[in-house]
Amino acid sequence: MGDAILSFRSPPGARASMGGKGAGLYELAHGGMAVPEWFCVSAQAAEERLAPVAPEIASILAEVDSGEPERLAKASGGLVALGADVPLPAATREAIEAALAGLDGERFAVRSSAAGEDGATDSFAGQLATFLHVPRDEVCERVAACQLSAFAPAALAYRRQRGADPGAVAVIVQEMVTSRSSGVLFTANPNGSLDELVVVAGWGLGEGVVGDAVETDTFLYDRLTESWRGTVREKRSRIVLDEESGGGTRRAQLPPDLGTRPVLGEEQLEALRQAAEEIEALHGPARDVEWAFDPDGRLAITQSRPITTLPRGELSIFDSSNIVESYPGVTSPLTFSYIRCAYARVFRDIARRLGVGRRERERNDDLFENMLGHLDGRVYYNLGSWYRLFRLVPFTGAYLAVWEEMLGIKNPRPTSAGTRPLAAVRGLPRAARTAGSLLWNLAFLTPVMERLRTRFGGIERRFRALSLDELDSVELARLYRSLSLELMDGWDVTLVNDVYAIVGSGLVRAALERAGAEADTFGALMAGDEELESALPAQSLALLADAVRSDARLAEALAEAAALDGEPGGAGAFPHHPDFARGFQEHLERWGDRHLAELKLESPSLRHHPQLLAGLILRQAESGRSAGEARDHRRRLSDEAHAEARRAFARAPSRRALFALALYIARRSVRYRESSRMDRARGFGMMRDLFRAMATHLEREGALDSAEDVFHLTVDELLGFVTGSGVDPDLRGIVERRRSAGRTWRADGPTRERLRFRGTVGSHPSPARAAPAAPAAGGGAGGGASTAPQTFAGTGCSAGTVTAEVLVVRDPSEATDTAGKVLVAEMTDPGWVFLMMSAAALVVERGSLLSHTAIIGRELGLPTVVGVERACSVLCDGDRVEVDGRSGVVRVLGPDDAREGAP
């Protein structure tokens, strides 16, 4: 039989006898974390004590595991009575007293630590007894009680439900932290992004926070943006020492000044973030940590265990750093569904162009479909798909580094196992095809790109010659199909050209550097190119502005045109300046698709909003360079750069020819890149007009309230409605939902750079909503401002959606008929595990994302929403509600919904 008392100083092998919590503390202490002094009464000590009644205990437990759940309470009574009959052996008592003499303070924490507790899958969160502020002379008694705490009814229920045996209970005796504030820290969001830390904090002892007995603040830390977001609530209570009884704890009213203050300040959050890092270094990722700050602001860690309920499955990584430039902010479903399709098409084509065979392309077809993700309304690259594509195409290794740099990817791709010789040989034909294609396209780039441009010009001319308003919606749908195919045909070569542009520019830059040219030479060489198509709209704008500078009347007319709100007059607004009007009109026709967020179909284009162009010209006239100055400036830069390059290579004539070749390749490809981007913008311009024309029909026919609503639909939904191949004819309903989602998304601030999920991506609460739903400011009960009156918003803690009847539970011991009901309560504790086992969902007024109830809810897979203010007063027994444990939305269903909700 081992020692009854173990501690920080015991050998590592002793951890096995300390229970899960004790072993965690041992490791924390050895890892240098600030753990309050403690010792442990071993699991063997408990076994030894209960040995005389072990056979009886075993037979009752066997009955618990296999028998009727209704008999749990009786079994619990029997077990506790059996245990109470055998006191702590005198030797154990003496050992405890002796160890206690080594601890400071007058009151202690006495905490159960079962062997099966704090495991990877079963937390036993809150199921076993913990006593705080226990006076010295009561410690033995409390240790004895902890040893029996696995026999409590709730613990037996948990054991039965999870098939988890807690084993013998070790007991931790620990110095008390006089906790000014305390709470829980999860080093990963339990049901959201793996890149988020979550902290739930309350005033006073942590018992109140983990037990949902006090009001809490929630703070989220985004590791990528390195920033905190918090939801601070009004707090009314805290758990403190019960001085009157001389020990134990009680719930007390908060002094008013604490109630409205955030529980944690910047410094404390930073201390927690650091602790999270240290603990992850020690214990690995995804930890559930309990902590407290003492009145001097010192942080103490009281527990670290695995998060039991992190989603499993494949890791998906989304990155916005590059694509956000093209699709800034919330991007409409119409745009996203269009570009998703376009990316799939173009990347399939480029894989073929670069020699990836049909079989291989088909085997990997999902990656083409998933080059992009749409999360919280924002567009992301799905990095996994990009890496897979790169792996499919030979020779991308070198390019990959460039691409990663472009994306700012700091921890590069998962290490590949290296190429095996046999695979390398098998890959040879494909490598040859790729190399051949790259060389062929490089050699014939000019004719290929020119042909693409000519063809594009033809498509655009034909499109612009059409009178879209004379086509009916079905004709427009047909036109969409043929136009999108035509536009994308052969477009993948522009990506090959991008590669040449990047590689060529890299070579030029390197050559200049080696020849000792000045650092900015490269930029000036490129920017000075008169033929860059991207420079042309700026020149046109500068010329128009020149005309305005010298003509006050024109400036006045322009200011009027810029202020126009409704249907703008376009070039017709300048009847007294026919030359200017012509230039204005020409700009609209040639460059009208070049504008802010031009690749988003919902963006206002100059073509449709000439007042925007009027505004641009005015601004240019006020503060920009004149066309002549701009041209001179560019030429001077370019001349200087050329002179600098000549000077640099005069000393290295052997490298001059190579430099000239690289410069030729780079300039040619940069030119084509700019012109193809312009054409792409024009392609989006055509699509924008086409969708608008279709939307006008739908508005006229009453399918949409307004033509603008079309952007809330996906391409398939829109065309499906028009052609009769759609499955949901209620376009207005779809629009309504999307509009409200859009409001939530837009309120979420800037797009995140990187998101990582495990398993089903859609099952994670979106980061926008994972922020604990703050009770709407001034909204009282009734949830967020964006939700309908019969909808209540809280914090979704455990995913899943159910529709069922409400049962408001005020006294859990009296609740009998809970099966299949949505339990609504003011607060819960882990003892509710009984009720939770049979319920359909749980909605709680108080509570937090990380409380014991939330943890158990997730372990049981029970949709759980906490923090729904006044749920008990606004919901009544028998109401039918839909609970979404992911988004935290509770919707009261009317009689119509009820029918619909029925299976």
Ligand X SMILES: Nc1ncnc2c1ncn2[C@@H]1O[C@H](COP(=O)(O)OP(=O)(O)O)[C@@H](O)[C@H]1O
Q: Does 751 engage in binding with Mg ion (CB under 5 A)?
A: no
Nearer to ligand X, 207 or 869 (CB): 207
Shortest CB 244 distance to ligand X, Å: 20
Which one, of 123, 65, 95, lies nearest residue 3 by Cα?
Answer: 95
Say which entry of ligand X, Mg ion, none residue 109 contacts (CB below 5 to 8 A, set by partner kind).
Answer: ligand X
Contact letters for Mg ion, residues 272-301 (x by CB under 5 A): ------------------x-----------
Q: ∠ CA(864), CA(866), CA(869), 5° rounding?
A: 140
Residue numbers at the binding site for ligand X (CB under 6 A):
36, 109, 111, 126, 128, 130, 132, 174, 176-177, 179, 182, 205-207, 210, 290, 292, 302-303
Of 177 and 334, the one with the shorter C-beta distance to ligand X is 177
What is the nearest approach in angstroms of Mg ion to the Cβ of residue 868? 25
The nearer residue to ligand X, 377 or 830, going by C-beta atoms, is 830
Residue 183 or 796: which CB sits closer to Mg ion? 183
Taking the complex as a whole, the smallest distance from the CB of residue 37 to ligand X amounts, in Å, to: 9
Residue type, 37: E
Nearer to ligand X, 111 or 858 (CB): 111
Structure tokens at 692: 């608008």
C-beta separation of 109 from 130 below 8 A: yes
> CB of residue 300 vs ligand X: minimum separation in angstroms?
7
Burial class (CB in 10 A: 0-12, 13-18, 19+), 805: middle
When CB distances are held under 5 to 8 angstroms depending on the partner's kind, the choice from ligand X, Mg ion, none that residue 272 binds is none
DSSP 715-760: HHHHHHHHHT--S---HHHHHHHHHHHHHHHHTT-SPPSEEEEES-
Q: Which of 218, 268, 303, 494 binds Mg ion (CB under 5 A)?
A: 303
Closer residue to ligand X (CB): 690 or 844:
844
Cβ atoms of residues 336 and 374 within 8 Å: yes
207 interacts with, out of Mg ion, ligand X, none, CB within 5 to 8 A per kind: ligand X
**Which residue number places its CB atom closest to ligand X?**
206
Residue 126 touches which member of ligand X, Mg ion, none, C-beta under 5-8 Å by kind: ligand X
Q: Taking CB under 5 A as the rule, does residue 494 contact Mg ion?
A: no
Question: Least distance (Å) from ligand X to the CB of residue 833?
Answer: 13
H/E run at residue 662: helix 653-701
User: Rounded to the nearest whole angstrom, what is the least distance from the CB of residue 124 to ligand X in the complex?
Assistant: 7
CB of 201 to ligand X, least distance (A): 11
Minimal distance, residue 127 CB to ligand X, in Å? 7
**Residue 714 interacts with Mg ion (CB under 5 A)?**
no
Q: Which does 783 bind (CB under 5 to 8 A by kind): ligand X, Mg ion, none?
A: none
Contacts of 134 (CB under 8 A, 6+ apart): 107, 108, 109, 110, 142, 247, 248
Instruction: Kindly state whether residue 127 participates in binding Mg ion, applying the rule CB under 5 A.
Output: no
**Closer to ligand X by Cβ: residue 103 or 652:** 103
Query: Nearest distance from residue 850's CB to ligand X, in Å?
Result: 10
| Residue from 375, 382, 380, 379 nearest 741 by CA | 375
Q: How far is CA 396 from CA 92, 364, 468, 747, in A?
A: 68, 17, 43, 39
Name the nearest CA neighbour of 279 among 8, 33, 15, 26.
33
The amino acid occupying position 563 is A
Q: With beta carbons less than 8 A apart as the criterion, state whether 614 and 585 touch.
A: no
Is residue 473 part of the contact set for Mg ion (CB under 5 A)? no
Shortest Å distance, C-beta 90 to ligand X: 26
Q: Does 484 bind Mg ion (CB under 5 A)?
A: no
CB-wise, 184 or 442, nearer to ligand X? Answer: 184
Query: Mapped to the 3 state alphabet, what secondary structure does 769-806 carry?
Result: HHCCCCCCCCCCCCCCCCCCCCEEECEEEECCEEEEEE
> Which residue reads 């890496």 in tokens?
387
Is-contact 613 589, C-beta < 8 A?
no
Q: Is 113 in the site for Mg ion (CB under 5 A)?
A: no
Q: Which residue, 109 or 703, is less far from Mg ion as judged by CB?
A: 109
How many residues interact with Mg ion (rule CB under 5 A)?
2
Residue placing its CB nearer to ligand X in the complex, 109 or 389: 109
Exposed/middle/buried for 517, CB within 10 Å: 0-12, 13-18, 19+? buried
Residues that bind Mg ion (CB under 5 A): 290, 303
